[in-house]
Amino acid sequence: MKQKKLEGLGQRIFEQRYSYPGEKDYADRCYSIAKHVASAEKEEEKEKWFDRFYEALNTGDFIPGGRIIYGSGRNRQNLLNCYAIEPEDSVESIGKTIQDMYRISCGGGGIGFNFSKIRPKGDDIGNVKNSSPGAVSVMKMINEVGNHVKAGKNRRTALMAELNVEHPDLLEFLHVKLDLNSLSNFNISVAINDDFIKACEKDKEWTFKFGNKEYYVFSVDRVSPDGTTKKIQIVALSEEDAASRGSNHYLWHPDDKFLNIERVEYKAIDLWNRLWDNAVESGDPGIFNLSLTNKHTNMSYFLKMNQTNPCGEIPLESYANCCLGHINLANMLTEDESDIDWKRLAKTIRAGIRFLDDVLTVNHYPLPECKTAGERSRRVGLGTLGLHHMLIRLGIKYGSEKCLEFLDRLYATIRDEAYLTSMYIAREKGAFPEFNSDKYLDEEFARTLPARIRMLIKQNGIRNAVMLTAAPTGTISMVHGTSTGIEPIFAPMYNRRYREGNTWRQTVVLDPLFKEALEKGEDASHIVGAYDITPEQHMAV
């Protein structure tokens, strides 16, 4: 077994973010992780699984999520990277959401929220007209709490705010984040659906909705006492309602007047263009396709997922979690680097799925609701990193036809081996609690599985409802000196800024394969970065 030795930047990041006091080598952390996670197994099996987990970890073949690396072996630690909360439209739920966000964040968990159940700004609360502060107000409260949260080794809280595309507060949501640069602790995404896509394609007007009511966009002149006029947009039920909402929520001065109120045609494509332009300019907002997500899951027969984790790789129901681990594809090559070492890959997948299932058992959940959600589906997220480094070593250009054919085989193998492993664990330990063979195998994604695997799942069940993901793996890829997730390398060489305590520092980063080529005096012109790959190639992968 070849031990993974960290070097340079990777070693520094490990010591700053993940190491336990006294630990100098990554192997020390791997020992603690393997021992902690293997404690979920039967007494007579613990040593066997400790050995298998330690081998996968210590070679760098399998790399757990950051929270698992940091928290294993520490007392009562949350080992899961991210959670989700979907607040209801009540004072009690909003208050609990803020409290729960604080507890999860202090445990190192990022959180994704969908705020679409919160009634729109300016709606009535009981008999109090236009009194609702709206969804963005709740976001601002949570954002402020986030300003005061640090966990682990100075880790800032990671939050995702999502709002459904038909919610009447959507324009304010976009304005506050994109124009005013508020909500600084949040990434944001707009949750779209099939109706919105069809409306864009057919150039239709977009109507906002909440409950059983329809809301429209009104153009309003806000006139201040000094005569200053500013044209604003208010989403409301009628002209009268727009004026009333303006008086309650859009005042610059107590004597402002709202004149020349008229409904404007707001087309779906206009909204789409705004989302697109801002995403290109700033990276926000993301797009979360609710219709597609809930169609292509194995769990639509017993739950609906309305939000993702902060990085977007796993859609989640409220209080559910991300239990993440990654196969290091850069390690999965034969000695002469002419092909994939398929046996090593299969062995790593088997260890990874079992490892992540055991993490769910040993994890200290920050809230009882999180534990219930985690155990209900026993979902895990097995992903990959080092894909581009694998392709470079194999001489395959990222995004080429040869690349796409290769990836079909590679990821079909990962899928099949992961599902077989989960089936075998179910035969030993039992299926996830909500498993129903007929309903499960009728799900859109489960239908893509080979007939043999479907037959075995029907006979034995499956331990984890879903188990695959494609996480970004930014920091842990740097720790292990390989390319991130399924992405192309950023550049052969670049300047990286990072924070050490309260100080920002800068270092020159050379991609390891680029550095290797330079040191050997080899031609490095084929080692290209993300800017050299066309959008079409990137999207094809």
Q: pLDDT tens across 314-368, in order? A: 999 999 999 999 999 999 999 999 999 999 999 999 999 999 999 999 999 999 9
Q: With a cut of 60, say whether residue 153 has pLDDT above it.
A: no
pLDDT at residue 5, as a whole number:
86
Please give the average per-residue pLDDT across 394-421, as a whole number. 95
- In this prediction the pTM is 0.92
> Do 472 and 286 touch, CB atoms closer than 8 A?
no
Q: Highest-confidence range of 148-162, 280-294, 389-403, 413-427, by mean pLDDT? A: 413-427
Given pLDDT bands bounded at 50, 70 and 90, which one contains residue 150? Answer: low
> Do 7 and 64 touch, CB atoms closer than 8 A?
no
Helices (H) and strands (E) in the chain, counts: 20, 19
Mean pLDDT of the chain: 94
Residues 6+ apart with CB under 8 A from 173: 135, 136, 139, 161, 163, 167, 188
Please give the average per-residue pLDDT across 293-299, as a whole number. 95
Q: What angle do CA 474, 476, 481 make, to 5 degrees?
A: 95
List, for residues 36-54, the tens digit of each pLDDT value: 999 999 999 999 999 999 9
Q: Highest-confidence range of 219-228, 449-458, 525-534, by mean pLDDT? A: 449-458
The Cα–Cα gap between 3 and 9 comes to 18
Q: Highest-confidence range of 157-161, 246-250, 269-273, by mean pLDDT? A: 269-273
Given pLDDT bands bounded at 50, 70 and 90, which one contains residue 138? Answer: very high
pLDDT at residue 163, as a whole number:
98
Rg (CA), the chain: 25
One-character DSSP codes across 399-435:
TSHHHHHHHHHHHHHHHHHHHHHHHHHHHHH---TT-
Q: With a cut of 60, say whether residue 154 has pLDDT above it.
A: no
> Do 380 and 321 touch, CB atoms closer than 8 A?
no
pLDDT at residue 282, as a whole number:
84
The Cα–Cα gap between 146 and 150 comes to 8
pLDDT at residue 155, as a whole number:
62
Q: With a cut of 70, say whether residue 436 has pLDDT above it.
A: yes
Residue 297, φ and ψ in degrees, nearest 5? -120, 165
Lowest mean pLDDT among 147-156, 213-222, 439-448: 147-156
The Cα–Cα gap between 348 and 328 comes to 9
Q: Cα–chain-centroid distance for residue 461?
A: 27
> Do 245 and 236 touch, CB atoms closer than 8 A?
yes
Given pLDDT bands bounded at 50, 70 and 90, which one contains residue 92? Answer: very high
Decide: helix, strand or coil at residue 335: coil
Lowest mean pLDDT among 84-88, 142-146, 190-194, 499-503: 499-503
Q: With a cut of 80, say whether residue 513 has pLDDT above it.
A: yes
Other Cβ atoms closer than 10 A to 91? 8
Residue 105, φ and ψ in degrees, nearest 5? -65, -40
Residue 171, φ and ψ in degrees, nearest 5? -65, -40
